[in-house]
């Protein structure tokens, strides 16, 4: 089974507006933490996340989180 590329060893913490976001699951996007279509060469697909209200989000950067697309601290054990 393919493993995602570790894009960052820390989460991408940002304030997001309400909307729909496509989180990169393969780790190859040039627009981290969001999908840019680079997964098309892999078996990965982005995770679509709908945000209902403005809030701070910690998007997983290591692509190993058990709570993807959000950070669960897994990067601390890499």
CATH of residue 18: 3.40.5
Residue 5 contacts residue 74 (beta carbons within 8 Å): no
Q: Is residue 6 part of a domain?
A: no
Q: Is residue 53 part of a domain?
A: yes
Q: Is residue 51 part of a domain?
A: yes
Q: Is residue 3 part of a domain?
A: no
Average pLDDT over residues 47-66: 98
Residue 45 pLDDT exceeds 80:
yes
SS3 content of the chain, % helix, strand, coil (to 5): 10, 30, 60
- At 5-37, the pLDDT tens digits run 999 999 999 999 999 999 999 999 999 999 999
Q: Is residue 78 part of a domain?
A: no
Strands 12-16 and 55-59: antiparallel
Domain that holds residue 32: 12-69
């Amino acid at each position: 089974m393919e493993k995602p590329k570790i894009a960052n060893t820390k989460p991408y913490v940002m304030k997001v507006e309400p909307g729909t976001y496509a989180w990169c699951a393969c780790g190859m996007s040039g627009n981290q933490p969001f999908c840019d279509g680079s997964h098309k060469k892999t078996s990965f697909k982005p995770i679509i996340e709908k945000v209902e209200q403005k809030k701070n989000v910690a998007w997983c950067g290591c692509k190993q989180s058990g709570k993807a697309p959000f950070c669960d601290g897994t990067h601390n054990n890499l």
